[in-house]
Chains A and B, each alone.
Chain A
Amino acid sequence: MKRLESIKDLERLRETIVAKNNTYEKTLSICGETGCRVYGSESLRQAFEREIQEKGLTDKIKLVFSGCHGFCEQGPIVTIEPDGIFYGKISEKDVASIVSETLINGKIIDSLLYEDPDTGEKIPYEKDIPFYKTQKKVVFNNHDLIDPTKFEDYMNFDGYQAICKVFSGMSPDQVITEIKESGLRGRGGGGFPTWQKWNSCRKAKGGTKYIICNCDEGDPGAFMDRSILEGNPHLVLEGMLIGAFAIGSKEGYVYVRHEYPLAWENAGLAIEQARELGLLGENILGTGFDFDIEVARGGGAFVCGESTALVASLEGGAGEPRDKQHLHTVDSGLWNKPTNLNNVETWANVPIIINNSAAWYSQIGTPLSKGTKIFSLVGKIRNTGLVEVPMGTTLREIVYDIGGGIPDGFEVKAVQTGGPSGGCIPNRLLDLPVDFDELTKVGSMMGSGGMIVMDEKTCMVDVARYFVKFLKEESCGKCLPCREGLKRMDEILTDIIEDQGTMGEIELLEELAFVMKEASLCGLGKTAPNSVLSTLEYFRDEYVAHVEQKKCPAGVCTALITYSINPEVCTGCGACLRDCPYDAIEGEKRKPHHIVTELCKKCGTCMDVCKFGAVEIT
């Protein structure tokens, strides 16, 4: 690739790329994200390549091994543009028919279409599928048409147009004003106004300034940042370029957690491509502006997502937060230089704002939270995947309209947002509009966008313990309230689950939570009690039932439940008797069986194998 010397060079290159792309009749996009790769989309791509080559269609069909399509439940996903045909759960045997029927003859293959589980109706086009219908794709726009390893694909969709706009006449202050007017707030969880951070860093004393992209996404069940960086790394790079120009930085880092190999691979490749083109390095596009980015791989600690711990890790030290409450990283961060740290999704929003104007962006969302937010919708829900919705969309819309509700006809019990530091929002608050402030008001937080849906068969004490245990192991162990507090919380919750709890312990939990919230060193410790506090607030009766009545209402905690067979329903088929691994079931053929409580280890096998629903939990 030839180095681009000016903005005109870049425009010329874009024209050639767009002209070449216009020669294709159709685009076949295979989702190449981690989720679909697990289902075998890599071999699917090879099969499509072979098939297209054999049929001599390489000049007519463009094959894209793209970023995430969002609807992970249906993976591997294949879409065909410009019609927008959506095929889900594709396997290699479907390749030949898709090429011959849909690509050559333009026919839609009914058997591969998405079927609405409620109506049984087959839906041919992506835009009509309920999962996609109410979403608003801003960051994920064109995500499914861009191959992350190909610079040309990003250029084809207005790539690096925003930086051209900035270079051709905007001053750093104008850029910051534009971001201010857009109302963009940090997507990492805190929701701090992005422009304010940029402005403080710009005004901070010191010649050398750094900018960092935080992709140390460690929340269980969250994969938004991963998808953006894996699927469209150039978007993040362009955002960082604009940020660097506004702040006056010459060096940037993309901090990616070690467990995301595809993300650091794709980010590294994109940086190399941008360097070759002269979009990174010295004298970018002949403007005299220098900026370069490096990928740094995280060491695998959850706490490294915290800004000061991330900085310590980047400096080569242990990932421990620094105790400098009087100083912000914008004044003294990496190597004690002013440092601006933003989350992947925040950086990805920047070029979009510059391209479409702040006025356009600020129309989306609520008065105080602008734009869209990507959530990873997981848990007990039909449509698992990534969803992008405008801020202010209610939880009910996300869970029921987009997520398709709970399988097996159960009701939502709670929605957990914000990862381990967030809280559980109960069913009665489902009409809550999701934005930074509303979630904080009910004791949870936006976090980076994890959303775990729980049904009635979930025990909230068990959920709280899961998150406390996770944080206990991930706490850096530096400060006493977090290290010891989480250890003791885990002990108490385990006691409650294992039938050893007392009422005094619930109060002790609250006391511990207060001290941890107040006195912990960093954000991890300060938000760690949220899962306990929110479950105590909304599901206190469950805690009391565990401690006082020695019952687990959801039937999850094995120490507090007993399995029994209802003799009126049992047909004596003997299925449970055969399958019980502990020989704890007795009974004659065709007569009601019963469980010997002393032998029962509560594994639940009998319940799973019984076809008549005779096994009950009390």
Chain B
Amino acid sequence: MFVTTEVSTYLAEIDGFQMKIDEGTTILDAAHQCGIHIPTMCYLEGLSPYGGCRICSVEVSTDGGKTFRVAASCSYEIHRPIIVKTDTPRIRRIRKMLAELLVASAPNVKLAQDIAARFGINQVRFKMEDNRCLLCGLCVRICDEHMGGKALGFVGRGPEKKVSAPFAIRSELCLNCGGCDSICPGKMIPCQGVKEPGELCGKCLRLEEMPFCCPMGTFGCFCENNPLDQ
């Protein structure tokens, strides 16, 4: 292994603002350093960038501004002088459509609503669904990167993709830390397992049984009466 003694810096121009950026910094971090806001969904400081939602897309040029291509700013590291534009008609068009797709798929998740509102979406042109999971992968990453758990992962592909424990059984690696639950942007939905007014099942607190149901289809609620899973 080699030891880096000195980090080289590159000149980055973000929305006309020029500054020297350490090699390996992402565009998103660099933009934050200049005080430029780039909207995000699947990004969270302290977790590795995932590049899934593409809402943080920006225009990047590595040839001195001759050609620009679209890249996700959260995962694009700066390794040469670059010019970035974060707010152009092209980018706005992309973000608006992505927000519409997101909110059409999960209209009851507050974060999706917030993003849609931010981009001025008043009407959705697609058929509404009621997904509770945005597939942002925050829970998977926090479990792996911070808890060393790897108790959660993605299963399936395409429209079938979902977050699940391996083989849909609560993993022995799960520490019951609740990190996944605390980070989930969809967790605003209340538990819907209780049927009678005033009833409290309390299973989520006692942690006696394996969680085979939850409002997000993955974790959170430990009771067996969750109507969403039936």
A residues apposed to B, CB below 8 Å: 301, 303, 318, 320, 323-327, 472-481, 483-488, 491, 504, 508, 511-512, 514-515, 518-521
- Beyond the given A472-B158, A477-B161, please list 18 additional residue pairs across the A-B interface where CB-CB is below 8 A: A301-B157, A323-B51, A323-B75, A324-B75, A325-B72, A325-B76, A473-B157, A477-B159, A479-B51, A481-B98, A483-B158, A484-B101, A484-B104, A514-B93, A515-B93, A519-B54, A519-B70, A521-B51
Interface string of B92-112 (1 = CB under 8 A from A): 011001100110110000000
Say which residue of A488, A519, A521 sits within 8 Å of B94 (CB atoms).
A519
Q: In the A-B complex, list the 4 residue pairs whose CB atoms are closest, starting with the nearest.
A: A323-B51, A477-B161, A484-B101, A515-B97
B184 proximal to A (CB < 8 A): no
Report which residue of B51, B57, B76, B77 has the largest number of chain A beta carbons within 10 angstroms of its beta carbon: B51
CB-CB < 8 A to B90: which residues of A?
Answer: 518
Q: Are B159 and A483 in contact (CB under 8 A)?
A: yes
Given A472-B158, A473-B158, A520-B54, A485 and B126 contact (CB-CB distance below 8 Å) = no
Residues of A close to B104: CB separation below 8 A: 484, 488
Residues of A within 8 A of B72 (CB): 323, 325, 521
Tell me the minimal C-beta distance from B53 to chain A in angstroms: 5
Chain A residues with CB under 8 A of B159: 472-473, 477, 483, 487
Cβ contacts B150-187/A at 8 Å (1 or 0 each): 00011011111100000000000000000000000000
Interface pair B101/A323, CB less than 8 Å apart: no
Q: Within 8 Å of chain A (Cβ to Cβ): is B66?
A: no
- The reply to whether B126 and A477 form a contact with Cβ atoms under 8 Å apart is no
Given contacts A473-B158, A475-B157, A519-B57, contact A484 B51 (CB under 8 A): no
B50 CB–A CB distance under 8 Å: yes
A480 in contact with B102 (CB, 8 Å): yes
B155 to chain A, nearest CB (A): 9
Do A479 and B54 touch (CB < 8 A)? Answer: yes
Known: A479-B52, A519-B70. A485 touches B158 (CB 8 A): no
Q: How far is the CA of A487 from the CA of B161 in the complex (A)?
A: 12
B161, A483: Cβ atoms closer than 8 Å: yes
Q: Inside 8 A of B70's CB, which chain A residues have their CB?
A: 518-519
Give the complex CA separation of A473 and B158 in angstroms: 5
The answer to whether the Cβ of B78 comes within 8 Å of any Cβ in the partner chain is yes
Asked if B19 is at the interface of the complex by the 8 Å CB criterion, the answer is: no
Contacts of A491 in B (CB 8 A): 126-127
Task: Judge if B49 is at the interface, Cβ distance under 8 Å.
Answer: yes
Complex CA gap A253/B160 in Å reads 30
Please give the distance in Å from B127's CB to the nearest CB on chain A: 6
Consensus secondary structure, chain A interface: helix
Residues of B with Cβ closer than 8 Å to A? Answer: 41, 49-55, 57, 60, 70-72, 75-79, 90, 93-94, 97-98, 101-102, 104-105, 125-127, 135, 153-154, 156-161
Residues of A within 8 A of B156 (CB): 477
In the bound assembly, the distance between CA atoms of A521 and B54 in angstroms comes to: 8
> In the complex, A320 Cα to B156 Cα: how many Å?
11
A479 near B53 (CB under 8 angstroms)? yes
Supposing A477-B156, A477-B157, A515-B94 touch, asked if A483 and B51 sit within 8 A by C-beta, the answer is no
**Residues of A contacting B102 in the complex (Cβ-Cβ under 8 angstroms):** 480, 484
Q: A481-B101, A484-B105, A514-B93 are in contact. Are A326 and B54 (CB under 8 A)?
A: no
Chain A residues near B79: list those with CB within 8 A. Answer: 326-327
Q: Please, how many angstroms separate the alpha-carbon atoms of A323 and B160 in the complex?
A: 21
Q: Which residues on the B side are within 8 Å of A511 (C-beta)? A: 93, 97
With A303-B157, A474-B157, A475-B157 as known contacts, state yes or no: A326 contacts B101, CB within 8 Å. no
Contacting pair B157 A480 (CB below 8 A): no
Cα of A103 to Cα of B105 in the assembled complex, Å = 68
How far, in whole Å, are A514 and B75 apart by their CA atoms in the complex? 22
Cβ-neighbour of A318 out of B41, B94, B154 (below 8 A): B154
Indicate whether A480 sits within 8 Å of B71 (C-beta atoms), given known contacts A474-B157, A519-B57.
no
Bound Cα distance A472, B161 (Å) = 11
A323 to chain B, nearest CB (A): 3
Q: Across the interface, do A504 and B125 meet the contact criterion of CB distance under 8 Å?
A: yes
Residues of A within 8 A of B55 (CB): 480
A314 to chain B, nearest CB (A): 17
Knowing A481-B98, A515-B98, the reply to whether A476 touches B157 (Cβ < 8 A) is yes
* Contacting pair A518 B94 (CB below 8 A): yes
- Contact across chains for B50 and A323 when beta carbons are under 8 A apart: yes
- Least Cβ–Cβ distance between B109 and chain A, in angstroms: 13
CB proximity of A260 to chain B, nearest CB, Å: 20
Q: Do B126 and A480 touch across chains, with their CB atoms under 8 A apart?
A: no
Q: Tell me the complex Cα distance, A323–B159, Å.
A: 20
Q: Which residue of B lies closest to A515 (CB)?
A: B97
Chain B residue numbers with a CB within 8 Å of A479 are: 51-54
Residue of A nearest to B154 (CB): A318
Q: Kindly list chain B residues whose C-beta atoms are within 8 Å of the C-beta of A514.
A: 93, 97
Report yes or no: A326 in contact with B76, Cβ–Cβ below 8 A: yes
Residues on A with C-beta less than 8 A from B126 are 488, 491
Among A325, A476, A484, A491, the one with the most B-chain Cβ atoms within 10 Å of its Cβ is A484
Q: Bound state CA distance, A484 and B104, in angstroms?
A: 9
B41 to chain A, nearest CB (A): 8
- Some 8 contacts from A to B, beta carbons below 8 A apart, are A320-B154, A325-B72, A476-B158, A476-B161, A477-B135, A480-B55, A483-B161, A515-B98
**With A and B bound together, what is the CA distance between A520 and B156 in angstroms?**
19
CB neighbours of A325 from chain B (8 A): 60, 71-72, 75-76
